Amino acid sequence: MSVSRLAQPGTRRLPPNHTPFPRVFSVPKKGLQSSQTETRPPWRRLYAKRLIAADTAAICATVVLAHHGQAGLVFPSVLLVVLWASALIISDSRSGEVVDVRIQEFQRVAGASMAALGAFGIVTLVTKLEVPAGYLEVVLPVGMLALWLNRLVWRKHLTRKRLSGSCCNMVLVIGRRNDAAQMAEQLTSQPKNGYRVVGFGIPGQDPRPDEHLHFDGRTAPILWGGGPVTTAAGACGADTVVVVDTGEFSGQDFQRLTWDLEPMGIHLIIAPRLTGVASSRLSVRRSGDVFLLHVEEPRYRAAEHSVVRAFDCCFALLALMVSLPIIVLAALAIKIDSRGPVIYRSERIGVNGQPFVMFKLRTMVETADQQLDGLLGSSDCEGPLFKIHDDPRVTSVGRFLRRYSIDELPQFINVLRSEMRIVGPRPPLPREVETYNGDISRRLLVRPGITGAWQVSGRCNLSWEQATRLDLAYVDNWSLWTDLLIIAKTFRAVLKHEGAY
């Protein structure tokens, strides 16, 4: 079952005098040709030129490697370089919209590479050009790998630039006041994505001089309330316009807006009010003159598949065998450091609200549970989650074990007992579950995990709301690829001991 959402024309009946955008647009003096390449930000042009040079160098290096100094391969090699470089240009793999999306960029590069090799094969077949056996078998995988590595290096470079505040898309956000502010917060929450909000537009509201809209501790001027958007975009230097689709604009309004922005080369983004849904669950389809945004149903049931269960068991067995010496050494240190059992048993709530006993290496004094009531008022976290940065109950050895998450190694036993998974929501305490409302209870639709989106995103540094949002998103958008990605990120988080205390 899928949910379809009308993403374009006719979402609501508009009055005859509704004119959020001009009903007449002027044709540029140069004619109807686009001037996008002339007006896009300088850093975009420079970045594209560098990609062209780096891609061409990677292709040439690949061809030379496959050449091996063999006679008669000069012309085929030159032909292949020309076809490959041309395919990358035709695929538009260096446009700003593609470069900003890693998967799409890699897909374009792979598609262009396959097309170039296909064209090369056709040319050699038609012209009866002799190419040694194994030539293409070397060129294709090595060339694609070289191009992907090249793009990864440049993407890292672009990310560093954006984290330092440069190479960003200057954004004008249009929407209702609250919606525009929330969208601005989302756009700027990840600096590596390269969005900088430089202005706002509130439909139907004439902006007052020096009026600003605040979002996430920052502010930007309100520059538009109706009329040509290009005037406001030019005033704030925006190269991107984001419209929060609240149903106020008709399909014709959006079409006129694209006409208005086209001569200036300004990119248009329409943002539906849809959150917590992974892009893999979304698809756009056309029906008549409208586009439907299809949303697949949540995927949490797939997490209980037998293949996933087998993966968890194999991973847990391997992890226990590898970490057994570490567990033994940690147990000896715990015994020497303080009185009490080595293993701490904590009651947690699992899938469908079923309680279970979770195992951990003890990191606190033996009377830690009895001291809890006196410390509840000192929690550093909001909501039912209890955390203290310098918890007096934690032992000296326990502090080290927590720092590197060694105390959680016995939880692999819970995985083998089918009580937990390798990746999943954070296992909640009974007192936390008592505060759950209908939405948060969705965390209990799957088994909790040793690691999860919450652990690789800050762990104890996250607020209750942030941790809950991450867990709910994980439940609804589960995939095995997501699990593998979280596992990979967990190693980095543990080594950097981010948010561990």
Give percent of the chain with pLDDT exceeding 70.
87
Token duo for residue 472? 């709910």
Question: Cα(first)–Cα(last) distance of the chain, in Å?
Answer: 43
User: Per-residue pLDDT averaged across 194-201, rounded?
Assistant: 94
Range name among 154-163, 206-215, 270-279 with the lowest pLDDT average: 270-279
Indicate the pLDDT class of residue 380, thresholds 50, 70 and 90: low
Q: Which residues of 233-260 are buried (b: 16+ CB within 10 A; e: fewer)?
A: beebebbbbbbbbbebbbbebbebbeeb
pLDDT tier for residue 18 given thresholds of 50, 70 and 90:
very low
Confidence of residue 208 (pLDDT cuts 50, 70, 90): confident
Q: In what order do the strands lie in the sheet with 240-245?
A: 212-215, 218-224, 195-201, 169-174, 240-245, 267-272
Composition of the chain by helix, strand, coil, percent to 5: 50, 15, 35
Q: pLDDT of 412-434, one tens digit each?
A: 999 999 999 999 999 999 988 98
Q: What is the dihedral of CA 185, 190, 194, 198, to 10 degrees?
A: 20
Q: What is the DSSP code string of 409-420?
A: TTHHHHHHTTS-
Query: Is residue 501 helix, strand or coil?
Result: coil
Whether pLDDT at 8 is above 50: no
Tokens of 409: 């190694």
- Which DSSP letter does residue 6 get? E
Mean pLDDT of the chain: 84
Beta-strand pair 343-349/355-361: antiparallel
Question: What integer pLDDT is reported at residue 121 of this predicted model?
Answer: 87
Q: How far apart are CA 413 and CA 361, in angstroms?
A: 12
Backbone angles phi, psi at 367, to 5 degrees: -100, 25
Question: Looking at residue 205, what is its pLDDT?
Answer: 83
Give me the phi and psi of 122, to 5 degrees please. Answer: -65, -45
The model's pTM is: 0.72
DSSP string, 126-160: HHT----TTHHHHHHHHHHHHHHHHHHHHHHHHHH
User: Which pLDDT score is estimated for 137?
Assistant: 80
Residue labelled with tokens 């440069």: 166
pLDDT at 211 over 70: yes
351-364 burial by CB neighbour count: b if 16+ within 10 A, else e? beeeebebbbbbbb
Domains of the chain in sequence order: 2-33+168-297 (3.40.50), 42-163 (no CATH), 303-495 (no CATH)
Nearest of 165, 116, 154 to residue 136 by alpha carbon: 116
How long a stretch of residues is the chain? 501
pLDDT band for position 29 (50/70/90)?
very low
- What pLDDT is stored for residue 146 in this prediction? 93
* Distance, CA of 59 to CA of 62 (rounded, Å): 5
Mean pLDDT, residues 43-72 taken together: 85
Do residues 9 and 290 touch, judged by C-beta distance below 8 A?
yes
Q: Band of the pLDDT at 71, cuts 50, 70, 90? A: low
- The reported pLDDT for the residue numbered 68 is 67
Q: What is the pLDDT of residue 72?
A: 67
Other Cβ atoms less than 10 A from the Cβ of 208: the count is: 9
Q: Which segments within 202-308 are labelled E, that is strand?
A: 212-215, 218-224, 240-245, 267-272, 282-287, 290-296
Determine contact, residues 305/299, Cβ cutoff 8 Å: no
Q: Is the Cβ–Cβ distance between 184 and 217 less than 8 Å? A: no
| pLDDT tens sequence across 321-360 | 999 999 999 999 999 998 999 999 999 999 999 999 999 9
Identify whether the C-beta of residue 198 lies closer than 8 Å to the C-beta of residue 238: yes
Instruction: Give the residue-averaged pLDDT of 368-394.
Output: 73
User: Is residue 381 very low, low, confident or very high in pLDDT (cuts 50, 70, 90)?
Assistant: low
DSSP letter at 364 equals B
483/474 Cα distance (integer angstroms): 9
What pLDDT does 379 receive? Answer: 64
In this structure, is the dihedral angle defined by the CA atoms of residues 466, 360, 300 and 309, taken in order, positive or negative?
positive
Contact at 8 Å (CB) between 228 and 260? Answer: yes
Confidence of residue 195 (pLDDT cuts 50, 70, 90): very high
Q: At 468, is the pLDDT very low, low, confident or very high (cuts 50, 70, 90)?
A: confident
State the average pLDDT over residues 279-308.
Answer: 84
Structure confidence by residue, pLDDT tens digits, 120-164: 889 888 888 887 767 778 888 899 999 999 999 999 999 999 999
pLDDT at residue number 39? 53
Place of tokens 């290496």: 361
Higher local confidence (pLDDT), 108 or 246: 108
What's the sign of the alpha-carbon dihedral 397, 399, 404, 406? positive
pLDDT score at 463: 77
On the question of pLDDT at 28 being above 70, the answer is: no
pLDDT of 450 reads: 95
Question: Is the pLDDT higher at 90 or at 465?
Answer: 90
Tell me, what's the pLDDT at 228? Answer: 86
DSSP of 291-352 = EEEEEEPP-GGGGG-HHHHHHHHHHHHHHHHHHHHHHHHHHHHHHHHSSS-SEEEEEEE-GG
Q: Which residue has the higher pLDDT, 144 or 26?
A: 144
At 74 the three-state DSSP class reads: helix
- Strands (E) in 350-414, as ranges, are 355-361
